[in-house]
Structure formats: C-alpha cells, structure tokens
Amino acid sequence: MSRSSPHFTVETYNSAHQNLWNQFVARAKNATFLFHRDFMEYHSHRFKDASLLVFKDKKLIAILPANREDTTVYSHQGLTYGGLVLSNKTKMEDATAAFKVLLQFLEQEGATTLQLKLLPRIYNSLPADEINYLLFLAEAKQFRMDVSATIKTDSALKIQKNRMEGVKKAEKHGLWIEAEQKFNPFWNQILIPNLEKRHDAKPVHSLKEIEQLAAAFPEKIVQFNVMKETEIVAGATMFITPQVAHVQYISANEEKQQLGSLDFLFHHLITSTYREKEYFNFGISNVNHGKNINKGLQYWKECFGARSIVHEFYEVDTANHTKLDSVFV
C-alpha cells in the first residue's frame, strides 16, 4: 500500500524493494550493515516487518527499518538501533517532509505511536541529527536512555595500570589470540554457560543465527578467541562498521582474573587490531531498562579509556505530523 503527499510517496517494504533498500543503506549517511535486509531478515519470524520507504519524485530519499505490534510501530525491536535513515544528499527540508509523510502514513494505517531507538552519532558518516530536531518539533517523549562506553581512538586515554597488570598475567601464562569465523567454541563453552549461570539468560543470537549472519557479512562480524594452549578461555564477538569497532559479546571462563584473559584481548583489539577505527565501542552496561548501570562492568570498560555516549529512545504520536506543517519560514 502507499500514501502520497505532494511530491512524496511512502511505500511499505516488500521483497521487490530488496536491492533498492540495500543499495540505499550502503550509501546512507546514518546506516550500518544491521539495516541490510540480509541482517534484518534473520529474525523475520519473530517480528512483523513494517519497514517503510519514502520517495520524492520517485527517488528514494529515506527509509525506516521497522516492525509493528498492534497500534505501535518500532524502529526496530530486533535491532540494536534504528531511526530515520537518510541519503547523504537529503537536505533538512526533504528530511522534514519525509518524516511528516511517514507519520501521516502510519496514522492512516491505524498506528497511533512510533517508537525509535536512535542510531548513536558515532556511527554516522556525516552529520545526521535531522531526526533529533524533528522529534523535538513533533513533541516526542524521551522514555529511555542507555549509556555506552566508547573510546575515540585518535585521542584515547592511557589504559590504566590495573588493566595492564592483567595483560602481563596473560603474557606470563602464554595466552594467545586468534581471529576466526568459527563461533561454536565461544558460544557453547563460554558464552552460553556464563549467561545461563549468571543471568539465567541466552545470547540474543543463537549459534545458528550468528553463523548465518557471519557467513553473510564475513568482514563485518568477527570472532576473537583467547587461547591457553589449545583451550578457549575467553572471547569477544565484534561487529565492524566504517567508523566503529563494536563489541557485541564479551565473556570469559572463571579464571579470567588469574589469567588476565579479557584485559589481554581488549588491549590487543584497541591498540592493534582496530587502532585505525575512529571509535571503539564496548556497548552498554545498563540494566532495568536503562535506569541502572552495572558498576563493575562500566568501571572495567572505563579503565581502558572508554567514556560515555548515549542511546536515545523516543516515542511520538503519529497524529503529531501536524506540528511539522510550518517548520520553514
């Protein structure tokens, strides 16, 4: 289905849009490979896709990765972040029109609310705060905020002594690091047992899912394992984007303090493997829907020189598209 506004058209995503969508993601100024359809659709059975495309004079200028539950559209519950994705050529006036027509379309389709967890700015290839301003105009409510620990690599702080002591322990014990596309040892021997024991939880991605995604994006999803002789003792799964090396999963066996395995691994990733990336991102340390922080985990990340950025969550009434009628004077 589609709805029109002068010069602008909104279309609901379907498989016929796949190539167009992926080409747009590849050149957008605020997108990562998580918005590629091959990534989004690994969990299509869990979510009712409601992604949208906005055209101006038949040219695609914006997309919204999204799913729907009842009268609420989310961008996107199955992704780490979402929001209005823009071409690097899309100017403020067109971004405003695109968001307005999106809200109109959603209202006409019976959706009363749009929730967005915005892409953090570190992932942008160009300034892309149009949606932040438009949410302000549309009187969106900020209902959650998470804190993510991030290193700006060209002005990185010195890694603290207590972390370097862990590196020395690892070197003393002869630990070594391997990068690979084999996820089974880390998932089954380290990650799953630790999550079950400590949090009664499972990884967001099953072993089969992460293997499927890594096969689709081999240069963007990489597993690093810390080995003691031939035994895995720790690991990290990295998601790599043009600006950011992001830690998706971290875990180690119970000897991590004695072996210094995680200190050893992240010293290597930060100072060697990904030293040319603009940012190294450890991810969030939040619990309780953003209202609390795991103090020990946040402290450990900050000892490597990481400092805080935020993940912003907003909710906007679709009927508030009328508040975007007279933006420009």
Eight-state DSSP code of residue 34: G
d(CA 283, CA 150): 7
Tokens encoding 205: 């991605």
User: In this structure, are residues 256 and 234 in contact, taking their beta carbons and an 8 Å threshold?
Assistant: yes
Exposure of 145 by Cβ count < 10 A (0-12 exposed, 13-18 middle, 19+ buried)?
Answer: middle
Q: In the chain, what is the straight-line distance between the N-terminal and C-terminal CA atoms, in Å?
A: 33
Looking at CATH, the fold of the domain delimited by 158-304 is given as Aminopeptidase (3.40.630)
Please tell me the CATH code under which domain 2-145+311-324 is placed.
3.40.630.30
Task: Please state the domain extents for the chain.
Answer: 2-145+311-324, 158-304
Query: For the residues 228-245, what does the mean pLDDT come to?
Result: 97
Q: How many CB atoms lie within 10 A of CB 154?
A: 10
Q: pLDDT band for position 2 (50/70/90)?
A: low
Tokens encoding 106: 């959603």
Of residues 256 and 169, more confidently modeled: 169
Exposure of 209 by Cβ count < 10 A (0-12 exposed, 13-18 middle, 19+ buried)?
Answer: middle
The yes-or-no answer to whether 2-145+311-324 and 158-304 have a common fold is yes
Q: Please list, in sequence order, all residues whose beta carbon lies within 8 angstroms of the beta carbon of residue 292, skipping any fewer than 6 positions away.
A: 286
| pLDDT score at 198 | 84
Q: pLDDT band for position 5 (50/70/90)?
A: very low
Q: What is the pTM of this model?
A: 0.94
d(CA 124, CA 87): 11
Q: pLDDT band for position 256 (50/70/90)?
A: confident
Amino acid identity of residue 35, one-letter, is: F
| pLDDT score at 278 | 98
68-118: pLDDT as tens digits: 999 999 999 999 999 999 999 999 999 999 999 999 999 999 999 999 999
d(CA 30, CA 230): 41
